Amino acid sequence: MLIKRKSDLILVIALVLLAALLWLVLRLTRSEGAYVRVTVDGEIYGEYKLSEDTEIRIGDDNSFNLLLINDGEASVTEASCPDKLCVHQGKIHYDGQSVVCLPNKVVVEVVDGEQSEYDAVAR
């Protein structure tokens, strides 16, 4: 038998309950983001409202990511990187979630709170 003593069983149950409680607290306290901040190589490329449906091409012909904002969610739908991990990361809309494309040095992060003085910055 895997659990040999009563104290082991109590410890396992306590850890499972603690993990479930932590998951519940994190799930109930997360907030919807207001906009996404796109950075390329550590510099802000643009900030876009999640409430406005749009499609943004980030980069040039050789190195690019296509960001789609639709129905309050953002996702990278196309990329020039070889592994396409950023495309498979899915849709984001909660504060703090992000999509990262390391080969293209692109980070798309959902940010909550007040937006900066610019609605959008484009290159």
Residue 20 Cα to chain centre, angstroms: 23
3-state secondary structure of 86: helix
CATH topology of domain 35-111: mini-chromosome maintenance (MCM) complex, domain 2 (2.60.320)
- Helix (H) or strand (E) segment spanning residue 22: helix 6-29
Per-residue pLDDT at 2 = 60
In the DSSP assignment, the letter for residue 89 is: T
Write the CB contacts of 103 (distance below 8 Å, at least 6 apart in sequence): 63, 81, 82, 83
Dist. CA 80–CA 47, nearest whole Å:
22
Question: In the chain, what are the domain boundaries?
Answer: 1-30, 35-111
Q: Which amino acid, residue 12?
A: V
Q: Could you report the per-residue pLDDT of 79-117, keeping only the tens digit for each?
A: 999 999 999 999 998 888 899 999 999 999 998 754 444
Give the residue carrying structure tokens 């969610």: 73
pLDDT surpassing 90 at residue 26: no
Q: Could you report the per-residue pLDDT of 52-84, keeping only the tens digit for each?
A: 999 999 988 889 999 999 988 999 999 999 999
pLDDT band at 20 (very low <50, low <70, confident <90, very high): very high
Structure token pair of residue 77: 């739908």
